[in-house]
Amino acid sequence: MPHKYGAIDPSPFSANQRILELLGAGSRVRGPGPGPKSPDVAGVVLDVGCSTGYLAAELRSCGYSVYGIEAAPDAASEAARYCDRVWTADLDRLEALDCGRIFDVMVFADILEHTRDPEGNLKKLLPYLREGGRVICSLPNIANWRVRLSLLLGRFDYTSVGILDESHLRFFTRRTAERMMSRLGLRIERMMVTPSILPYRLYRVYPLKWLDYALCRILPGFGAQQFIFVLRRSAGYGR
């Protein structure tokens, strides 16, 4: 059975593309948005929920050493082609990694909302992040205007993909996500959004891509489909 999320999302401003841009690996898959001002240099990345290794493949081609964690055995086997090592494990049941504090960056791309204990799962992996290391995390925005409207109409219908993905176990607003990061000693350095006010089909009219992004930057809690957080571990965490 093919993995549900087995390829880079080609949509403009998608979380996949933004994460690759933040790590300086987005030249071939880059969307229309601006890239980061100071991309990371190559280092060691832990891709949590690495799926088939589609992010790892791009990062590896740019000089990163990539490790992965993936629950689905078939996807983990595919990801092993691009990762130095893949731990096949359910994140909720994972107790420890048999490695030291080796990671410069940890990527949680569209994974924490699929787990029972997002905060606990972040907490148990942070000790493997090097001092001053960064975490890049994308989370869906349950307070998006489409979900609000559906609730006003008395509807809360799960879908195959998106904010109300049927496999999502936990939901976040911007505030609840920020509070979770703060409790874990993670400082938010930057927050990006994937816009969702205008339908994607209107993006064929080029200025509307930027209008949608600008509106979501002004009203992120209302318009964003996802939040992408760039986080720095506070000095002395875990000592």
pLDDT at 212: 78
> For residue 31, is pLDDT > 50?
no
> For residue 10, is pLDDT > 90?
no
Token pair 């990371």 in the structure block, residue: 40
Question: Where are the strands (E) in the chain, listed by range?
Answer: 44-48, 65-70, 85-88, 103-109, 129-140, 186-195, 224-233
Spatial neighbors of 81 by CB under 8 A, at least 6 apart, are: 53, 57
Span of 72-76, 157-161, 176-180 with lowest mean pLDDT: 157-161
Domain borders along the chain are 15-232
Sheet holding 85-88, edge to edge: 85-88, 65-70, 44-48, 103-109, 129-140, 224-233, 186-195
Query: What percent of the chain clears pLDDT 90, i.e. is strictly above it?
Result: 64
Side-chain half-sphere CA neighbours of 238 within 13 A: 17
Domain 15-232 in CATH 3.40.50.300? The answer is no
Instruction: Give residue-wise pLDDT tens across range 34-43.
Output: 333 344 447 9
State the pTM of this model.
0.85
Instruction: Give residue-wise pLDDT tens across range 85-135.
Output: 999 999 999 999 998 888 999 999 999 999 999 999 999 999 999 988 999
For the chain, what is the mean pLDDT?
Answer: 85
Euclidean distance between CA atoms 49 and 108, whole angstroms: 7
